[in-house]
Amino acid sequence: YNVDLRYEFFPNNSGDLFAITVYYKKLDYPIERVQQASGGSAVHSFRNADEGMAAGLELEIKKELVKDCRLGINGSYIYKNVNLPEGEGIYTDLERQLQGASPYLINADISYIPRIGTESQLLVAAMYNLHGPRINTVGIHKVGNIKKLALHTLDFPGIYIFNKPLSTKIKVKNL
């Protein structure tokens, strides 16, 4: 189940955008990656929690800085929680955040997209992404959770469109 409320504002019909969204998601039996000790090694599998929820706030801004040059910023704060099956006693934590979900995300990009003639176009961009720390694998039978640290990435894609069916692309990823 998903409920969201979004407000968008487009100043001066310019293509610029300011948006704010609040949302709530109820998850029935979310699937989570788990790990347990077995025979001296870790065994990975999947289990269903009873239910989970995610609620959050998202802000988005897109702004044309100068002709053909745009800035975009998007940030989210996300609260997540799972209800674990009662009576099994296998989960290490009695309550925790949802496996795989970051508590915050930030994305930013600056792009230059000029038209060259009538059919050609260039796109070059710098894109930054931040995923907050999250549980990668849920520990069961007294094995601790495996956590991923916050992840920062910086990418530089470039595309040149010669005409509709012909283009070339180059990407420098995860600097």
**At residue 18, does pLDDT exceed 90?**
yes
pLDDT digits (tens, 9 = 90+) for 33-69: 887 767 777 778 888 888 889 999 999 999 999 999 9
Report the sign of the C-alpha dihedral through residues 15, 18, 24, 28, in that order: positive
Mean pLDDT (the chain, rounded): 88
Residue type, 73: I
Q: Check: CB of residue 163 under 8 Å from CB of residue 145.
A: no
What is the three-class DSSP state of 43? strand
Concatenated DSSP letters of 75-131: EEEEEEEEEPPTT---BS-SSBPPTT--SEEEEEEEEE--EETTTEEEEEEEEEEEE
What's residue 89's pLDDT?
58
pLDDT digits (tens, 9 = 90+) for 94-142: 677 888 889 999 999 999 999 888 889 999 999 999 999 998 888 777 7
End-to-end Cα, the chain, rounded Å: 37
Residue 18 sits at φ, ψ, to 5 deg, of -130, 130
Best CA proximity match to 131, nearest among 115, 148, 114:
148
For the record, the structure tokens of 30 come out as 């979310």
State the virtual CA torsion across 39, 44, 153, 124 in degrees, nearest 10. Answer: 140
What's residue 87's pLDDT?
58
